[in-house]
Structure 1
């Protein structure tokens, strides 16, 4: 399963120090509040797909508004291949 901590780590890596260290990242965090571009969200999705051997539904991933929504999509994909 993909965890919120794993996703938060990828976000911090993708943002390359642009986020304050004390910013709270949880399932309710909106992707646009973090300043992530659609390209950066795609990079995070690709990384998770590679690491877990799954494929996210691309249309649903593009529509995700919060980390929780993106996390649910990823874990849905993980369960499909289990």
Structure 2
């Protein structure tokens, strides 16, 4: 299962050298670290591919924090396993 740490690592990879200037945890908003919508989409699609889950597009678009994305991933995994 995906964790906040997994997502924070993905964000740090996107931020590159800028990652050391920000605190990344479950409460981190994507906006606060300066990720573009394209970078956020890349993280979301990467999670879908790596964990073989599919997000509801409208719910994925509403994600604002690392914790929100973890919850969405847990819900998607549960939905996929129930199907």
Structure 1 length as normaliser, TM-score?
0.89
Q: CA deviation at 1:81?
A: 2.1
Where structure 1 has 5 or more consecutive residues not aligned to the other structure, the ranges are none
State the partner residue of 1:18. 18
Partner of 2:77: 78
Return the alpha-carbon distance in structure 2 between the equivalents of residues 76 and 17 of structure 1: 32
Question: Residues of 1 paired with 2:80 and 2:63: CA distance?
Answer: 21
For residue 10 of structure 1, report the CA deviation from its aligned partner.
0.5
SS in 1 for 2:67: helix
Structure 2's unaligned 5+ residue stretches are none
Provide the aligned length of Structure 1 versus Structure 2.
81
Q: State the superposition RMSD in angstroms.
A: 1.3
Runs of 4+ in structure 1 off by over 3 angstroms are none
